[in-house]
Structure 1
Amino acid sequence: MFAKWGSIAYRRRWVVLIATVLLAVVGGVWGIGVFDKLSQGGYEAPSSEAARADKVAEEAFGRQNGDVIVIYRGDFANPVELKKVVDHVSGFPKDDVLKAVGPVPSDDKQQALVAITLSSGDSNEQIKQFQDIQPQLKIDGFTEQVGGLVPTQKAINDMSQEDLTRAEMFSLPLVLLLLVIIFGGLVAASLPVVVGGLAIMGALGVLHAVAIFTEVNSFAVNVASLLGLGMAIDYGLFMVGRFREEIARGRTVEQAVGRTVASAGRTVVFSATLLVIALAGLLLFPHGFLKSLAYGGVASVAIAALVSVTLLPALLGVLGHRVDKLAMPWRKKEPSERGWRKLSGKVMKRPVLIAVPIVGVLLALGSPFLGVQFGQVTEKVLPEGNAVRVATENINQNFSALSNTGFKIVVKGGDEAAVQAYLGKVKDVPGVGEVQPTGSGNGVTAASAGLDGDALSEESKQALKDVRAIAPPNGAEVLVGGNTATVSDSLDAIADGLPLMVTLLVGATLILMFLAFGSVVLPIKAVLMSALSLSATFGVLVWIFQDGHGADWLGVTPGPLESGIVVLMAAIVFGLSTDYEVFLLSRMVEARGQGATTEEAVTTGLAKTGRVITSAALLLIVVTGAFAFSQVAMMRFVGVGMILALALDATVVRMLLVPAVMKLLGNAAWWSPGPLKKIQERLALHDEPVDDLDDFDDEVRRPVPVG
């Protein structure tokens, strides 16, 4: 199938080239409109108790949220000063502002808080309304601080777009420079970058289409850009490298294109499928945020692979031998494989001495993850000193009763005496502070309960469990919401979906790798290698971002990890680990099918892919590493995490641990039960064999079965 497609891509190269570029560019131009449709919502589980509490309260009393919080500084012990603020607040435009509560003076009368509820409930429209009223928040003679949910969302959105532009401006030139060094020529180096640019354009078009029908969080664009560019460069590197290898062996251009698609193209599609499945696992969770990341990730990876096996073969067919034009002085016809063969020999000579310490170190690196704590996106993702973050922290410190950090209790039904008795029991719960009614009517009573500690502390989480355990008044339904409840319910929803996601990732990897390679041992080994890489990465991230080691140097505030970002990282790191494993194993299996022993297959696989995998990882580190300097802590977490994962996986795991384990497994690595082997032979995801023995060591001459 892949060889046939390679032949078609060559013969119809101009048609394929023009059609692919046209579709990607049109999609990209139209996709620019997605930036006006992005939101900052979706972090909560929509069917949770906390979400239902908000919905019942809104249906009974209308929207009560203080979307924008303004703190004015002045002498509010003076009634005249206070009246100035009252008069100004009453003049806010009714089209944008549903209501404004306040001013509420602080205890020292030096500050006063105004809580503004915007008229729209849509996050995109709220940001526009906030921009409309922002100039009117100023009052002559007072200084103001502006915080709250909507200003925080706008600040994150603005910084995310700035970070994305900055990351692309930094990474693209550096990636091109590295590709020139790796390929030794400007023409060959430019091809993966072209694929990456078109992949991003196509992904933006897909996200715009999705945003018409459902909410798309702004981080979906960051993920789409990061993975679209990164994976396109990886796939392009693999494809162009194989094409040049075939040309160097004397193939015609048509033969080289066909063989490249049949071998490297097949591997790219297979690897991308595994990564797409990993990212699609995010759709198993109810959170709109995670679904948005799945849309961006799946679209970018799928399009990167699609462009790599359509546009790239067509381009290679057009260029032919000119792919090596504008070569650099250091360009060699064929890069030396001697170093990789030597490394493989040394590793397999002492496999136990290599494998045991590496496994021990990776497990030690992963140990901090045992103490992980999860939180949610707050103002702390913004840089220290950011005006919105400073304002929100001021609100939490000096206006705790109005900061929305406590419990929101909604009682539906029940007589007044029973409801008051229930609220009295809530007040007696350890960790709960003052309980104040906030509304009553339409058969619903709402109250706020303050907390003695931080909203996300263990004390507050236990208080939530205790409050929810109190029997509701007869005939009444009680719903408990608020920050603590939202985070706890969100974590419960993720915990419920995680086993399904793990089953999907592991199951898909085992099945697809078995069908591709014909062994039941290799897929199991791949999953274990990916799990080791994943645990080590998360352990270091917890040590930095939660425990605070080096946090000052990175400019982040230590605290609980945002659960959605952790799940995203798990999907990406697992997918990338499997990606590099497939690149490596594909050449090992290819060699094995041509008669190589296990040691010969491992040596050939490492020699053929070692340079490609390390180069791909280096380039992806540059692309994703740019986000390590993001202004938003969540994207900085992703950037640092990707650097750690790639550095560990592409060097220590793939180049050292995998060859050592393969040596220890010996011929057992290729084993498959007879009945399964027959199924694999009927359904195998293989193409025409690469039948030239000169691809491998001279002594490899005898054909043996892969299984």
Structure 2
Amino acid sequence: MASFLYKIGKFSYRRWWAVLALWILAIIALGALGDKIEKPFKDDFKLPDSPSVTAQNTITEKFPEGKAAEGQPAKIILKADDGQRLDTGAHHDSVEKMVAKLQEIPQLVPAERAKIIDPTTGPAAAQSMTDNGTVAIIKFTLDAKMHGAESGVSDATVNTVTEAKKIGRDAGLTVESAGPVSAKAVEPPSELIGIAVAILVMIITFAGLLAAAMPLGAAIMGIVVSTSVISIGTAFLTLGTSTTGLATMIGLAVGIDYSLFVISRYRQEATRTKDRAHAAGVAVGTAGSAVVFAGATVVIALVALNLTGLTFLGQMGLGASVTVVMAVLVSLTVLPALLGLFKGIVFKPRIPLLWTPERSKGPTIGHKVGVALTKHPLPYLIITAAALIVAAIPVTQIQLGLDATSSQDRPAHLIEREAFGAGKSSPLIVVVSAQDPTGMATAAKQVQERISGLDHIAEHGVVGPIPNTAQDAAQFLVIPQNGPSTPETKDLLAEIRSAASDVAKATGSYVGVGGSAAINADFSSALTNRLPIYLLVVVGLAFILLMIVFRSVIIPLVASIGFLLSVAATFGATVGIFQKGWLGWIKPEDQGPILVFAPIFLIGIVFGLAMDYQVFLVSRMREEYHHGASPIDAIRTGYGAGARVITAAALIMVSVFAGFTLSSETFLKLLGFSMAAAIVFDAFLVRMIIMPTTMALLGKRAWWIPRWLDRVLPNIDVEGEKLRAPEAPPANNVAGGAPVAR
């Protein structure tokens, strides 16, 4: 492989104009095709074959008259701070005026499907107002299609809602809204912050502006191409709205990483020879081989998200894997072409006071650290492993959920939760379906008897049975006393489902449980059950790839165990901060369950990035060991050569992910923090401390592999053994003069 990639790198350097022209043509052609055939992105959060989905389908089928209008639900929460009831006196007059103003919303769905009513009078008051009458909810649905987009809400709609809220506030009421009519919080430009930090880190790494800009430019080119490919994919697949966003984030991450690896190796080779085309070829042949295998592990991790059974995760994984493939191709072709374009000025002008290989007169900091780690490896290994284990302790108390209230909806959510209980916004829906009205009545009566006395149900929290028009189905609304992700609500759901099963067996009817709390529980259960399978496939396939790269069983084993340890530490720290409120960073009202798909999502992304660092760092150690260095010297040389660029790559990723912690949205804070923490734990503790110290303790045994397995595995020249056969032209050729730089 190294020889093949050497030819690609050397060709791209010498024929830079042809390579860049082909990529530019590809960008234009794919972009035009994408614009022509792309279809709208569409989210699909369904969990096939789950009990809650079956129940929801039954409700839709049996209660077509109550089917929710297609659009976006919204609501307004009213609270009388003076303790007076909202259904009497001046407060009631204000409520009526607010309702009248809301009726003027231009995007309100037709009245026969969703009519705004006074929550303080008539049947609506039973579920829309508290017993003391001081808090009430006004619900309505917006027809987003009237604004010409599936998710669009017009300014006229927002202005009308704002005027209605002002009526109540002028009357002394607390009025908050939730849904698309709420004012959007101004988010900090997290991506720009991450890019700015990335540029700064690359400037320090290369001590030159042009060299620092090249990895970012190459990453952007890969993102542009992959975005067009994803757009083309919408004509054949249903892709979610988050697909492009995730692909961009991953493309930026791996694109910069891979380019850093290649250009850093090029710089090292350029100090050994004046034949820059040869240096580019060696860089692509060695570091490029590591990039190919690192990219393969990332693609495996992302594509394997389809094993979760969650369509939207699989879609995002496929889209992001396209970006990874493009990032690999760009680093192998576009980057050496750019090196060929700029030739000798790549690392100029040099920034004063910053370290460069050309100015180095002694061992690098990375080499010194490598020596320290390998001289006394055991204390470093024990302390680092102990730190990860301690950080992982809270993971045993992790709670998963779908609660992701936005910052603009939070004030309304808090009032509603305090007044009606945490379960008001996420009721359970029990549906009964039978062959005839008599069978339905019998089953409904038994269901009512079984669920009425259960614990963890809010006061007056059982409403029903509510029959359908055909009288062959009925539904009950069960409001939990606690939130949808709490153990109490999960226990309640289990008891209701047990009762539903008993009634179904006794009567021959269908009895199911739907609603957001049931869907939340099924999502959590599905991901928890499939996580071991996902880990087995991802880690197993990556284990095989790492054995092929390193010709070792021990090193892939240590790499995999280290990854699992860093993930456990990440989840532990995340639980401590977001669920338990460590450091006081998250307000008590914002503390809650971990986003249900965050663990498997984080594992898929971070595993790929972790293997990037693993392959790049240890492949250089393998290269030195394979060419005769002792195990300790190979570790030190490889560590000294790779520590600087891996540190730079990890810092860039941490800054990109940490930028999201500045968001006002709790779930974005969570994802940003967890991914940044995972990179810190895995890159700096596992890859750069645990890995070299373990290898130092094992010595030659680190490279052990059974002979039969060594014969079975394909022998791929990752270290560039053949590239060293013909020595590169020396920097000072005494016999024939210095070779001409090309």
TM-score by length of 1: 0.88
What is the distance in 1 between the residues matched to 2:107 and 2:636?
Answer: 73
What is the distance in 2 between the residues matched to 1:396 and 1:691?
Answer: 69
Query: CA contact under 8 A between 1:275 and 1:572: conserved in structure 2?
Result: yes
1:76 to 87, 90, 106: 87
3-state SS in 1 of match to 2:9: helix
Query: CA contact under 8 A between 2:432 and 2:444: conserved in structure 1?
Result: yes
Report the alpha carbon displacement of residue 378 of structure 1 after superposing the two structures with TM. 2.6
What is the distance in 2 between the residues matched to 1:28 and 1:190?
Answer: 24
Task: Write out per-residue CA displacement over residues 468-504 of structure 1, whole angstroms, 9 at most, x where no aligned residue.
Answer: 0011241211110122211110011112321221111
What is the distance in 2 between the residues matched to 1:351 and 1:531?
Answer: 21
Report the alpha carbon displacement of residue 191 of structure 1 after superposing the two structures with TM. 0.3
Task: Write out per-residue CA displacement over residues 58-112 of structure 1, whole angstroms, 9 at most, x where no aligned residue.
Answer: 2232323782223356853257656545655556568744312532122444554
Give the equivalent residue in structure 2 for 1:704: none
1:370 and 2:402 correspond: no
What is the distance in 2 between the residues matched to 1:639 and 1:489?
Answer: 25
1:192 and 2:215 correspond: yes
Unaligned runs of 5+ in 1: 696-707
Query: CA contact under 8 A between 2:493 and 2:518: conserved in structure 1?
Result: yes
What is the distance in 2 between the residues matched to 1:563 and 1:402?
Answer: 18
Query: CA contact under 8 A between 1:6 and 1:262: conserved in structure 2?
Result: yes
Query: CA contact under 8 A between 1:69 and 1:115: conserved in structure 2?
Result: yes
Give the equivalent residue in structure 2 for 1:298: 321
Matches within 5 A, 1:137-148: 137=161, 138-139=163-164, 141-143=167-169, 145=175, 147-148=177-178
What is the distance in 1 between the residues matched to 2:255 and 2:37?
Answer: 22
- Which deviates more, 607-616 or 50-59? 50-59
2:382 to 351, 356, 381: 356
2:8 to 5, 10, 16: 5
What is the distance in 1 between the residues matched to 2:606 and 2:143?
Answer: 41
Q: 1:36 to 1:376 in 2, by over 3 A?
A: farther
Give the equivalent residue in structure 1 for 2:738: none
Query: CA contact under 8 A between 1:33 and 1:208: conserved in structure 2?
Result: no
Query: CA contact under 8 A between 2:623 and 2:719: conserved in structure 1?
Result: no
- Which deviates more, 123-132 or 69-78? 123-132
1:435 to 462, 472, 492: 462
What is the distance in 1 between the residues matched to 2:300 and 2:148?
Answer: 30
Give the equivalent residue in structure 2 for 1:699: none
Q: 1:147 to 1:218 in 2, by over 3 A?
A: farther
Task: Write out per-residue CA displacement over residues 253-308 of structure 1, whole angstroms, 9 at most, x where no aligned residue.
Answer: 22112111111111111111111211222221222442343144323322222211
What is the distance in 1 between the residues matched to 2:588 and 2:230?
Answer: 31
2:204 to 181, 199, 222: 181
Count of aligned residue pairs for this structure pair: 682
What is the distance in 1 between the residues matched to 2:696 and 2:194?
Answer: 38
Task: Write out per-residue CA displacement over residues 165-212 of structure 1, whole angstroms, 9 at most, x where no aligned residue.
Answer: x12322323322322221111111110110122233234334434455
1:115 to 129, 136, 139: 139
Report the alpha carbon displacement of residue 519 of structure 1 after superposing the two structures with TM. 1.3
1:263 to 286, 293, 300: 286
3-state SS in 1 of match to 2:114: strand
2:443 to 418, 430, 435: 418
Q: 1:342 to 1:47 in 2, by over 3 A?
A: same
Give the equivalent residue in structure 1 for 2:734: none
What is the distance in 2 between the residues matched to 1:34 and 1:612?
Answer: 41
Give the equivalent residue in structure 1 for 2:351: 328
Matches within 5 A, 1:85-164: 96-97=109-110, 98-105=113-120, 106-107=129-130, 108-118=132-142, 127-128=151-152, 133-137=157-161, 138-139=163-164, 141-143=167-169, 145=175, 147-148=177-178, 162-163=187-188
Give the equivalent residue in structure 2 for 1:409: 430
3-state SS in 2 of match to 1:198: helix
Q: 1:685 to 1:596 in 2, by over 3 A?
A: closer
Q: 1:5 to 1:124 in 2, by over 3 A?
A: farther
Question: What letter is aligned with 1:607?
Answer: G
Give the equivalent residue in structure 1 for 2:333: 310
Question: What letter is aligned with 2:385?
Answer: V
What is the distance in 1 between the residues matched to 2:525 and 2:423?
Answer: 27
Q: 1:647 to 1:86 in 2, by over 3 A?
A: closer
Query: CA contact under 8 A between 1:73 and 1:110: conserved in structure 2?
Result: yes
Q: Identity over aligned residues, as a percent?
A: 26
Task: Write out per-residue CA displacement over residues 307-355 of structure 1, whole angstroms, 9 at most, x where no aligned residue.
Answer: 1112111111222222122221235316554433332232222222221
Q: Quick check: which has more Rg, 1 or 2?
A: 2
What is the distance in 2 between the residues matched to 1:35 and 1:546?
Answer: 41
Q: 1:325 to 1:89 in 2, by over 3 A?
A: closer
2:708 to 647, 650, 675: 675
Give the equivalent residue in structure 1 for 2:413: 392
Task: Write out per-residue CA displacement over residues 360-389 of structure 1, whole angstroms, 9 at most, x where no aligned residue.
Answer: 22111111111111111431xx33xx3x22
3-state SS in 2 of match to 1:128: coil
Report the alpha carbon displacement of residue 660 of structure 1 after superposing the two structures with TM. 1.3
Question: What letter is aligned with 1:472?
Answer: V
Q: 1:328 to 1:589 in 2, by over 3 A?
A: same
Report the alpha carbon displacement of residue 585 of structure 1 after superposing the two structures with TM. 1.0
1:454 and 2:483 correspond: yes
Question: What letter is aligned with 1:76?
Answer: D
1:608 and 2:641 correspond: yes
What is the distance in 2 between the residues matched to 1:124 and 1:372?
Answer: 42
Unaligned runs of 5+ in 2: 81-85, 121-128, 729-742
What is the distance in 2 between the residues matched to 1:510 and 1:64?
Answer: 48
Question: What letter is aligned with 1:665?
Answer: L
Q: 1:372 to 1:555 in 2, by over 3 A?
A: closer
